[in-house]
Amino acid sequence: MKKIIFTLGFIIVANILKAQVLYGTTSFGGINNGGAICKLITATNTLNADFSFNAKDGETPGQLKLTQATDGKLYGMTQFGGQSRSGVIFSFNPVDSSYKTLLDFSVTDASEPRGSLMQAKDGKLYGMTAWGGSKGDGVIFSYDLSTSTYTKLKDFKQADGKHPYGSLIQAADGKLYGMANKGGSNNYGVIFSYDPVTSAYTNLKEFDSKDGANPEGSLVQTADGILYGMTSFGGAGNHGVIFSFDPVTLAYTKLFAFNGINGDFPEGSLMQATDNKLYGMAYDGGSNNYGVIFSFDPVTKLYSKLKDFDRVNGGLPFGDLFQASDGKLYGMAGGGTTRLGVIFSFNPVNSLYTELRDFDNINGREPEGSFMQASDKKLYAVTTDGGVKDNGVIFSYDINTSAYVKLHDFATNSIGNSSYGSLITNQKTKLYGMTYDGGIYGNGTIFSYDASTSVYNKLKAFDLTNGGKPTGRLLLANNGKLYGMTNYGGAKYVGVIFSYDTAAAIYTKLFDFPSTASSNGSGFIQASDGKLYGTTFNTIFSFNPETSVYKTLANFNDVNGSEARGTLVQAADGKLYGMTESGGSNNAGVIFSFNPVTSAYKKLFDFSDDGSYPFGSLIQASDGKLYGMTELGGVNNKGVVFSFDPVTLFYTKLLDFNGANGSTPLGSLMQASDDKLYGMTNFGGSNNAGVAFSYDITTSTYTKLSDFTGNNGSGPEYTSFTELPDNAAIQISINNKSITEGNDGKKILQVPVVLNVKSHNSTILVHYHTQNITAIAGSDYIAQSGKLAFPPNIKKILLPIRIIGDKTLEADETFKVVLNNSVNASIADSAGVFTILNDDGASANMALQATTKTTSVNLSPNPAKDKIQILLSGYEGNILIQLSNNSGQILQQIKLQTSSAKLMQQQININDYANGTYLITAIDEKGNRQTKQLIINR
């Protein structure tokens, strides 16, 4: 007998003959509306968001005062940022510092809020935007916290008032009152009311410049029921005024006119302190022309200038004063030692002004908003600029300890959001992908996602200097590294080629695209010659991962195609195939081939009315044909599914999208292990958020499998499904060129596959098949029928599979092992050591393993007060300990390393968490998971 033992490379890929588990990404939707990693189970056509990215964060909150609602959370708005860069509504929980984007404003519906939210007696939040709406002049809206429902209530227009910069208040009569900066007959702004019960909007007062003009703040109602406010302009000298308005008699009275020396151009609002006086600030004027603090007595009508800002200790204030529980007034202004702004206090009893803190760039700067005091007695506010992304921060200030804490950086979104590319797999349980936005620099991320443990890990935040804003897919090259491209960043700001070493966690920028080649961020393939091939908008290029040599191979033009977007595919004939979005005879895109050996480019097909503007990539299916989709064209001009035969060059339109079954596909197809094609559309379906579908190339049957709903994701772009291995099946690829023959002239390969036994109450059918190799099983426990009965107390069986063939085993030959019952048994990864031997049964032995050890998690003490001891036993390798709240949000995460079967103890601090019920979960790299309930009770 000739026996050779050696180690082969192998790949385990998704293969589920009964039901596929497919993963994809969406650019929008998910729980946070920042996109999702979605999971499609074809057995039940279930489509869920397995992981939700954070939403696109807001930025530049402006003249904001946070509002604490009855649920204890703080609510506010940003002027810019979000999906449409038109601002967002957000919540911030001061208990666990969790930030969440609740709503993205849009340019057409409502945009650029300048003021704050308020919670009315009906429990809803009410607010205004300065722009957007049907006339582009702003809106009034409500947001129901109980149902997360946004409702536009009123579109501002010229006659009624437009561009409100301040906030609403609810007066004693239950109506909402506010001001618009412009509009009305004189275009100097108005005072208005809105009845939330009857939806009646009333223009109450039109400013005329003499009695005030262009208010930027909000109204305040004093104990006598009168409304007071300020305008930034108007009055004698056009310096702004203080006024009163009686909501019963509609009497308007100009009470005081600023004149420059006593203050100028007030931007904020008045507030009534415990001494019943009104206090406020003027942005400009005073002795130093940096603004003033003043009081106004509504009884005596006496105005008093209390403090001249001097810029050294603060100046040019935008916001309001706030009286805290210690009786002092707190506010923010520009200037200070750093010239980036200050926090100050003012004692109305003795007029003592104290500068408390200078802002700096990293912790926030340029404050334009106002303070509020939450139930924990701390002051909370925002800055307009500064922070990691220079788009503002949320912070707290403790008036007792003078502690300043930056709580959230706007526009950072550390984990990433909006994934515009497909996932790839390491052929086990790990998925890798990229996001277009998010990361600490706001330019996207590289991430991994473990489908078995649901653990998301941000690997790299793009910083633009070394690349940013990727839209394509990564490539796992044969050297084990990930390769990709970005759309922006680099030396010429048109993108880069990069690698990421997952083992060493090292990101390397390899090449800066020249401005003439502008990256399309699509992604690579690695061809049989080992080189990486890709496209820019106007070229085909190669990149050698060993030498880092970049070479332009072909140029697109309007005749042979232009604006390539998808990834290339290498077909069985060795040629590379791809598509362009436009160009060609009909300017609707082309299918082309490129021969990497001869460098010959050939346009093969011009898209037209039967399919136009392909956005994704081609795939070669098991029948040898190329398959793809177009964005538009077809009978309904909503896109098509098509096939293209690279031998006959015959194009066939297979399906017309019609809206109900999907519309406007912007990604690519994939062929799963059941030989069906799977894909997604960007629009269409029941919710017009896209659909997941299958197409059977054998029966020409199209099936809409599930609708995207928003919660499970929406709007998938530049993406396709990816299949992971399931417990029911395993597929092994043999990567050697040939195998030495046995004495009988046959090639024999033995592959050890581990079966994890879950139950002894049933018989498992084990099936092997391959296209080119005759496969048989070599275990005493497999009868001729193929059924495997598990002996008592056996938890794992090492199943040697002998593959016997009469031909040379070529590279990438595959065979599949399938269980008909994935509930009672699963298949683990193969060991990787393959044995070639003669067919004499010498190595066909069954290896039995004893019962696996159990795992446990114990907590002490429980209930606990400040610290908790976690005792672990039976875990292997790396261990992840997670502390979560009852909503599933991970509050703390610790990674440990331990050897097999050792007892481990870990202490964690729980001082920062409120009384209540929490969960402690331990997960090891073998998939062992235990969860225990923790009670915190002080």
811-826, pLDDT tens digit by residue?
444 545 555 444 555 5
- Identify whether the C-beta of residue 434 lies closer than 8 Å to the C-beta of residue 449: no
Return the structure tokens found at 217.
């703040």
- How many helices, marked H, and strands, marked E, lie in the chain? 0, 78
- 162: nearest Cα among 139, 145, 144: 139
Q: Nearest 5°: phi and psi at 637?
A: 55, 35
State the Cα–Cα distance between residues 558 and 628, nearest whole angstrom: 21
- CA-nearest of 183, 231, 187 to 211 is 231
Phi, psi at residue 934, to the nearest 5°?
-115, 135
**From CA 162, how far away is CA 187, in angstroms rounded?**
9
Most trustworthy range by pLDDT among 242-246, 474-478, 821-825, 848-852? 242-246
Strand-pairing partners, residue 715, are: none
> Is the per-residue pLDDT at 104 higher than 70?
yes
In angstroms, the CA 612 to CA 632 distance is: 5
Q: Which residue has the higher pLDDT, 783 or 593?
A: 593
Q: Give the pLDDT of residue 781.
A: 25
CA dihedral 901, 902, 903, 907 (to 10 degrees): -120
Res. 854: pLDDT tops 80: no
Mean pLDDT of the chain: 83
Computed on alpha carbons and rounded to an integer, the radius of gyration of the chain in Å comes to: 33
- pLDDT, position 756: 57
Closest to 628 in 3D by CA, of 665, 585, 682:
665
Separation CA 155–CA 110 (nearest Å)? 9
pTM here?
0.57
pLDDT at 482: 95
d(CA 406, CA 394): 6
How does pLDDT run across 181-196, given as a tens digit for each residue?
A: 999 999 999 999 999 9
More confident residue, 68 or 843: 68
Percent residues over pLDDT 70 in the chain: 81
Residue 441: the pLDDT is: 76
pLDDT band, very low/low/confident/very high, at 928 (cuts 50, 70, 90): low
Question: What is the token pair recorded at 311?
Answer: 């810029």
Rounded CA separation 704/497 (Å): 37
For the chain, the distance separating the N- and C-terminal CA atoms, rounded to the nearest angstrom, is: 73
Q: How far is CA 818 from CA 15, 698, 756, in A?
A: 8, 22, 13
Write down the residue that tokens 């990709």 correspond to: 484
| Per-residue pLDDT tens over the stretch 287-318 | 999 999 999 999 999 999 999 999 899 999 99
Least confident of 119-128, 518-527, 548-557: 518-527
| Residue from 232, 193, 192, 237 nearest 215 by CA | 232
Residue 136 has pLDDT above 70, yes or no: yes
In three state form, how does the secondary structure of 269-332 look? CCEECCCCCEEEEECECCCCCCCEEEEECCCCCCEEEEEECCECCEECCCCCCEECCCCCEEEE
Q: How many other CB atoms are there within 10 angstroms of residue 12's CB atom?
A: 21
Q: What is the pLDDT of residue 56?
A: 64
Residue among 878, 877, 890 nearest 918 (CA): 890
The residue-averaged pLDDT of 56-80 equals 89
Comparing 913 with 499, the larger pLDDT belongs to 499
Q: What is the DSSP letter of 840?
A: S
Residue 622, amino acid: S
Predicted confidence (pLDDT) at residue 829 exceeds the cutoff of 60: no
- The four Cα atoms 358, 361, 362, 367 give a dihedral, to 10 degrees, of 60
Q: What is the pLDDT of residue 509?
A: 97
784, 765, 924, 752: which is closest to 849 by C-alpha? Answer: 752
Band (pLDDT 50/70/90 cuts) for residue 653 is very high
- Residue among 548, 517, 520 at smallest CA distance from 532: 548
Secondary structure, 3-state, 841-869: CCCCCCEEECCCCCCEEEEECCCECCEEE
CB 788 within 8 A of CB 765: yes
Beta bridge partners of 142: 126, 151
Comparing CA positions, the residue from 573, 572, 610, 568 lying closest to residue 592 is 568
Give the DSSP letter string of 699-731. TTEEEEEEE--BTTBB---S---EE---TTEEE
702-722 average pLDDT score: 93
Q: What is the DSSP string of 210-236?
A: TTBB---S--EE-TTS-EEEEESB-SG
From 10, 49, 9, 15, select the one nearest 724 (Cα to Cα).
15
* Mean pLDDT along residues 158-167: 95
Q: How many CB atoms lie within 10 A of CB 452?
A: 15
Tell me, what's the pLDDT at 770? Answer: 39
Nearest to 830 by CA among 877, 802, 796, 798: 798
**Tens digits of residue pLDDT in 312-346:** 999 999 999 999 999 999 999 999 999 999 999 99
Q: Does residue 917 carry a pLDDT above 90?
A: no
Rounded CA gap, 883 and 574, in Å?
52
Helix (H) or strand (E) holding 205: strand 201-206
63 pLDDT higher than 70: yes
Q: What is the mean pLDDT of residues 581-594?
A: 96
User: Which pLDDT score, from 0 to 100, does residue 901 have?
Assistant: 38
- What HEC string does 531-560 produce? CEEEEECCEEEEECCCCCCEEEEEECECCC
What is the mean pLDDT of the segment spanning 385-408? Answer: 91
pLDDT tens-digit readout, 438-465: 777 778 899 999 988 888 899 998 988 9
Q: What is the pLDDT of residue 725?
A: 57
